[in-house]
Amino acid sequence: MYLKIKKSLKFFIYFFIIFWCSISFAQEWKSSVKMGTGDEFYVDLNSKKKNKNFVIVTVLNDYGYPDPFNKSKSSIQDIAFDCKNMKFQFLNDKFFSKQMGRGLVIQSSNRPMPVMNMPKGSAYDIISKLVC
C-alpha cells in the first residue's frame, strides 16, 4: 500500500512540474504600456487569434498598487478587440495575489463583460494598435 501511494505521489509531482513548466514557457509577455499609476500591461503574443472581425489576445496587468476591491496585485484577461469599430470586450479574467500573474487566484470569471468603447490614448487603445 505504501509503495502504491509513493508511486502515485511521484507521478503527481512529475506531472505537476512538467505541466507548470509548459504553462510558464508558453507565454511570451511583451510589455506594451506603462501607466503613470505604475500599472504595466503585457500582451502574450503567442495567444493572438483572429475571430471574424475581432483579434483576441491575453493581457497581463501588473498593478502599481493592489486593487482596492479584491487586494489583487495583478490580473490576466482574454480580451477581444474590434479593431474596425474601436471597441473591446473582456472575455474572462483572473486576479492574482502576487505580481506578474503569480500567487493564488483571488477571483476569476469566465463570463464576458459588455462590449465597451475604447477611449483614445487609453492602455487598451495602445494595446489594440499593437495587436490589430
Please give the domain boundaries of the chain with CATH numbers for all domains: 28-131 (2.40.128.710)
Q: Which residue has the higher pLDDT, 68 or 15?
A: 68
Instruction: For residue 91, report the phi and psi dihedrals to the nearest 5 degrees.
Output: -90, -35
CB atoms within 10 A of CB 6: 10
Q: Residue 71: its pLDDT value, please?
A: 96
pTM above 0.85, yes or no: no
